[in-house]
Amino acid sequence: MNTARLSLDPRRRVAPVSRRLFGSFVEHLGRCVYTGIYEPGHPTADADGFRRDVLALVRELGVTTVRYPGGNFVSSYRWEDGVGPVDRRPARLDLAWHSLETNAFGLDEFMRWLGQADLEPIMAVNLGTRGTAEAVDLLEYANHRGGSHLADQRRANGTDDPYGIRLWCLGNEMDGPWQVGQRSATEYGRLAAQTAKAMRRFDPELELVACGSSHLGMPTFGSWERDVLTEAYDDVDLISLHAYYQPVDDDLPSFLASGEDMDRYIDAVTAIADSVGAIRRSTKKIMIAFDEWNVWYQSATPSTPPSGDDWPVAPRLLEDHYSVADAVVVGGLLISLLRHSDRVTAACQAQLVNVIAPIMTEPGGSAWRQTIFHPFARTARHARGAVLDVLRDGSTTTTDRYGEVAAVDAVSTWDDDSGEISVFLVNRVTDTPAEVTVDVSGAHLTGIIECVTVGGTDLAAKNTADGPDHGAPRPNDTARQADAAVRLTLPPASWTMLRMRATEATP
Which residues have a catalytic role annotated? 173, 292
CA distances from 182 to 76, 96, 457, 474 (A): 11, 12, 44, 46
Identify the DSSP state of 34.
B
Q: Which of 10, 23, 70, 189 binds ligand AHR (CB under 6 A)?
A: 70
CB atoms near residue 274 (< 10 Å): 15
Dist CA 292 CA 66 (whole Å): 11
Dist CA 435 CA 269 (whole Å): 34
Q: Which of 36, 71, 128, 181 binds ligand AHR (CB under 6 A)?
A: 71
Nearest partner of 428 among 216, 261, 290, judged by Cα: 261
Count of residues for the chain?
Answer: 507
Q: Does 254 bind ligand AHR (CB under 6 A)?
A: no
Segment lying near ligand AHR (by CB under 6 A), choices 66-74, 276-284, 339-347, 361-369: 66-74
**Would residue 488 be called left, alpha or beta, if left means φ above 0 and alpha means ψ between -120 and 50 degrees?**
beta
Contacts of 23 (CB under 8 A, 6+ apart): 63, 64, 65, 66, 67, 122, 291, 346, 347, 348, 349
Compute how many residues bind ligand AHR; rule: CB under 6 A. Answer: 11
Residue nearest to ligand AHR (CB): 71
Phi and psi torsions of 447, nearest 5°:
165, 170
* DSSP element (H, E) containing 123: strand 120-125
Dist CA 39 CA 428 (whole Å): 40
Q: Does 108 bind ligand AHR (CB under 6 A)?
A: no
Quote the least distance from Cβ 131 to ligand AHR, whole Å. Answer: 19
Question: Which 8-27 positions form the footprint of ligand AHR (CB under 6 A)?
Answer: 27
Quote the least distance from Cβ 503 to ligand AHR, whole Å. Answer: 44
Segment lying near ligand AHR (by CB under 6 A), choices 65-73, 253-261, 404-412, 465-473: 65-73
Q: Which of 225, 292, 415, 420 binds ligand AHR (CB under 6 A)?
A: 292
- Residues 154-183: x/- map of binding to ligand AHR (CB under 6 A)? ------------------xx----------
Which of residues 291 and 409 has its CB atom nearest to ligand AHR in the complex? Answer: 291
Contacts of 107 (CB under 8 A, 6+ apart): 69, 79, 82, 83, 138, 141, 142
Dist CA 35 CA 73 (whole Å): 18
Segment lying near ligand AHR (by CB under 6 A), choices 68-76, 341-349, 433-441, 457-465: 68-76
Under a CB-based contact definition with an 8 Å cutoff, are residues 27 and 355 in contact?
yes
Q: Does 126 bind ligand AHR (CB under 6 A)?
A: no
Quote the least distance from Cβ 70 to ligand AHR, whole Å. Answer: 5
Q: Does 291 bind ligand AHR (CB under 6 A)?
A: no
Which of residues 214 and 422 has its CB atom nearest to ligand AHR in the complex? Answer: 214
Quote the least distance from Cβ 291 to ligand AHR, whole Å. Answer: 9
Segment lying near ligand AHR (by CB under 6 A), choices 64-72, 361-369, 389-397, 428-436: 64-72
Contacts with ligand AHR, residue ranges (CB under 6 A): 27, 29, 70-72, 172-173, 214, 292, 350-351
